[in-house]
Structure 1
Amino acid sequence: MKLSKIPNRWLVIVCMMLLISGCGNSKQAFQREDIDKRLPTANNEFAFRLYQEVLKQEKANNVFLSPLSVSLALSMTVNGADQETRSAMVQALQVQDLTLEDLNRSNAALQSVLQQADPDVKVTLAHSLWGREGTLFRPDFLERNEAYYDARVTELDFQDPGASDTINEWVRKETEGKIGPIIDGNIDPDTFLFLINAIYFKGKWSTPFDEAATTDQDFHLPDGTTRTVPMMVQSGELDYYKGDNFEAVRLPYGNKQFEMTVFLPDEGISLERFYKQLNADHWKKWMAGFETTAGTIQLPRFELEYEKTLNGALKALGMEVAFDEHRADFGQMVSTPPRAYIHEVKHQSFIEVNEKGTEAAAATSVEMRTVSAPLDLFQMRVDRPFFFAIHDQKTGTLLFMGSVMEPETSSK
């Protein structure tokens, strides 16, 4: 089956086929109970493993990822993988205990639930497939991605210099202009498909910071120097946790289903030392240990832009075969030969945190080629490198995670 140049016509055809086949549809109203409980657990395990691999390459740099964006883009790709390649990808994603049907349906339910969780928090998830003109794709591959991921499917002339602009404009639109070009320049002749996820988040704090209370304060950098940053402050009863050599506080958005949790290592404890504890098991333990406590949080106002090619990290997680042009098997995506493989998994992200709330966005592109104990009172001053995560309290899903070694601020 070819991707249609006219998406609406293709969608009509697919919808008719879905009515006949009885496949699920991501547009239906899902409930939290429709999410296989194994999926959020697997997603968080993948999130922390991926983050740790990226940290190995970044050292003292700021890091900001949307593990959910990466896992959804790769889940779409899994629908085209076969044999050893599919096995390696699901192992890397930690979803080896789920059938492909379970994975797709639970991803559809998770997206539906997250996007409807809070009317005061905007969460949008969008997917698209951009295929080279004339490429024959397996019908099941296209149908599953449209049915479960509501993916826009489009055929493009990749030789047209404007093809990359078309894809980049879709990403820009779906992320409210926060993510820049994800496809650089002319598209390689061996590239036949881009699978792209875009995620956008905008939430106001349940209790905003008072802008009048923000003052310039010193932030201590890893090299021992300081930088002056705008430091926000909030006092009151907050969910607080004192762990082993660190403390943490939750800052909720809207109706409190989404929240940012900020982790600050104790003085004299480096962020690198904290990373040694950062895994899915400890995360689960920490989340259960927060207690409402009176105290004060001081947090920098900051803005980050981040870009990373994730090939190395994903190979380290066991997906190397999917990148190997001689071994990769995507026979459920296109007929082989020619052999198809993943050339690049590219991730871009953006976040701005201020007194009103948080705006964050990310996009992940998969480029396919052919052979190619609680305290009563706390004082938490975040004036040194820290880790943070934005997650859904009900499902436990991690939407974003990052480290701030040196805050960058907007011109506000």
Structure 2
Amino acid sequence: MAKRLLIPVVGVLAFSSVCIAQYQPGQALSDYIHSNEKFGRKLLLAMHETEQQKNIVISPLPVSQTFGALSEGTFDSTTLLELGKVFEWRDQPFRNVASRMLSARIPSEKFPPQEETETPKPSKVLPIAVPSKPFAPLSQSTILLYRGRGFLRDRFVELASRDYGIQFQEAKAGELPVPKDPDVRKLYELKGGILDFSIITFTDLRTPWRHELFNGRSQKLPFTLRSGAKVETDQMVSALQHYKHIAADGFEAVALPGGDAYLLVLLPAVGKDIIELEGEFAVGQIDLDSVMKSEEGDVTLPISHIRFSADLEPPLRKLGLNSLFTDFRSLGAMVSTSEGAHLTAAVQRVDLDVDTWGIKASAITFLGGVAGGVMGGVMLPPPQPFHMIVDRPFLFFIRDNVTDALLFAGVEMNPTLN
């Protein structure tokens, strides 16, 4: 009887081993990037639904990476299920490997040690030293600062640093460093200094257009707002060349190539509401990658300067991430104390400039908590070039050229509000 039972069990184990062996690291990276893309679309929609008249820009990748690291600090089944659903991580056995591969693509700046920052003074909260800024087209650096009771567990520190590139520093009570960014500093003041740990990510992108795409060409043109009113805006006109492009019944889309990243512009058809298009894109009804073709044409696009700060907790909880903000058990495997830990704050500040030079974007992503107690392929162009004029609210997505990872996403409702 025992032998007969052994055969099916061995067969199941062998089948499982074959399935895991067939799941290659390249597929893991592709799945991880696709998950970040879907999460970014959902987060943008959740935020825009409550701020429908604002220009919005977010950076989903540091949020995905940071919560990926936090997933190594929990054994709580509810928290793991919520993380998998919100960040689309289900059925990804090698997500940690994918994160390491993505981190290898995006360089990180090293934070100076705590003792090299400002000398401690009584009742003074210290500013954190922002990493040095030599020119790097794309970079992302994350630091976790801890001053809670007990200590961070070795397993969490090892996995978070190895797989997600997080740097760690310890601070004494009353000396938790504060970033110089005013939006993040306000969070510390709002929490009254009760935070036991914080995770801060600096993301930067600086990339010019390829082939002098806009070559300084700009002009004043009308832009139609969602209300139907018109405003005059500065718009840049691209050179006539080949772009990835699609003109469909409900939308038009174009990819504008930069040196290290490209800008994907998604414009609703005349008469179609921007929120409706955004919803269709968020749930995957529109698959641009499979339908965009290389076509000759030119693009007229508003010059954009967006400064956006947002509390990420409400949209994250709207998407289903609740236990990490309410339950001390959610981060019980991160800290040594039996009471565990949970988040109390999540905020992001993004500055974005899109002009005739190229794309300049930076983001600071802050999480605070307490403890208990590449575009490829060429197709023949159509006989007539397209002329895409972006003169009404539109969506935009900035992706890395090498991995296609979604770096920034946003919606431009009114260029004159910047």
Residue 228 of structure 2 aligns to a residue whose secondary structure is coil
| Distance change in 2, residues 1:331/1:217 (3 Å) | same
1:61 counterpart (54, 58, 81): 54
Match of 1:384 in 2: 392
Tell me if 1:220 matches 2:214. no
| Distance change in 2, residues 1:212/1:361 (3 Å) | closer
Compare 344-353 and 285-294 and name the one that shifted more: 285-294
1:93 counterpart (70, 87, 91): 87
Residue 280 of structure 2 aligns to a residue whose secondary structure is coil
Cα deviation, residue 229, structure 1? 1.7
Cα deviation, residue 200, structure 1? 0.7
Match of 1:148 in 2: 163
1:316 counterpart (315, 318, 324): 318
| Distance change in 2, residues 1:244/1:397 (3 Å) | farther
| Cα distance in structure 1, aligned partners of 2:51 and 2:310 | 10
Equivalent pairs, count: 358
Letter in 2 for 1:69: P
Contact 1:35 1:110 in 2 (8 A): no
Match of 2:99 in 1: 107
| Cα distance in structure 2, aligned partners of 1:202 and 1:232 | 19
Runs of 4+ in 1 over 6 A off after TM superposition: none
| Cα distance in structure 2, aligned partners of 1:347 and 1:54 | 12
Contact 2:40 2:406 in 1 (8 A): yes
Letter in 2 for 1:295: G
2:244 counterpart (234, 239, 242): 239
Match of 2:131 in 1: none
| Distance change in 2, residues 1:296/1:34 (3 Å) | closer
2:210 counterpart (201, 206, 211): 206
Match of 1:11 in 2: none
Match of 1:357 in 2: 358
TM-score (normalised: structure 1): 0.79
Task: Name structure 2 gaps, 5 residues minimum.
Answer: 1-23, 109-134, 374-380
Match of 2:279 in 1: 276
Residues 12-411 of structure 1: pairs in structure 2 closer than 5 A: 33=26, 35-83=28-76, 84-99=78-93, 102-115=94-107, 122-132=137-147, 135-160=150-175, 163=176, 166-169=177-180, 180-184=182-186, 185-186=188-189, 188-210=192-214, 213-237=217-241, 238-254=243-259, 258-279=261-282, 281-283=284-286, 285-325=287-327, 328-370=329-371, 376-408=384-416
CA offsets, 1:263-309, max 9 Å, x none? 111222221221132136345x2112122222221111111011111
Residue 43 of structure 1 aligns to a residue whose secondary structure is helix
Task: Name structure 1 gaps, 5 residues minimum.
Answer: 1-30, 170-178
| Cα distance in structure 1, aligned partners of 2:268 and 2:69 | 37
CA offsets, 1:29-80, max 9 Å, x none? xx98385332122222222222221122111211111111111111121121
| Cα distance in structure 2, aligned partners of 1:103 and 1:180 | 34
| Cα distance in structure 1, aligned partners of 2:202 and 2:158 | 20
Letter in 2 for 1:250: A
| Cα distance in structure 2, aligned partners of 1:36 and 1:217 | 42
Letter in 2 for 1:301: I
| Cα distance in structure 2, aligned partners of 1:258 and 1:320 | 33
Contact 1:308 1:348 in 2 (8 A): yes
TM-score (normalised: structure 2): 0.78
| Cα distance in structure 2, aligned partners of 1:168 and 1:340 | 22
| Cα distance in structure 2, aligned partners of 1:212 and 1:145 | 44
Cα deviation, residue 366, structure 1? 1.5
